[in-house]
Amino acid sequence: MEKNKRRFTRIPFKVGARIDIKDQSYTVNEIFNLSIGGCLLPVSEKLKTGIKCLVRITLSEINDNIGVWVEGEVVRSENNLTAVKFTKIDPDSLFHLQNIIRYNAPDSIAIEEEIESHPGII
């Protein structure tokens, strides 16, 4: 059996998000999966691998200032799914992202170990 190469636990996260690439924006109703290191978004357009982007995860429909903003890079785009590797995040957004993962993952001990060993984006 092949060993799982993933470094971070992934969770489904049923909130809206937006991915901005240059002058284009793509809005999705849910995040297929989310981790401390990246996300998988249901974007129907094939996006160029390696392109830089900004991902905004919506945490409040009432207040646009409440959310997670993270810079990233498209690492895969196929079959109406786009994978983004996170590359840079501000401390407030990192705090929110860690808590999202922490409180939605089935194994809280594994998540705490991931956060301790990777306190920032790697």
Domain extent listing, the chain: 11-116
Render pLDDT for 12-45 as a digit per residue (tens, 0 to 9). 899 999 999 999 999 999 999 999 899 999 999 9
pTM: 0.86
Q: Please, what CATH class does the domain formed by 11-116 belong to? A: mainly beta
Render pLDDT for 54-105 as a digit per residue (tens, 0 to 9). 999 988 777 767 789 999 999 999 999 999 999 999 999 999 998 899 888 8
Distance CA 82, CA 77 (A): 4
Distance CA 21, CA 35 (A): 20
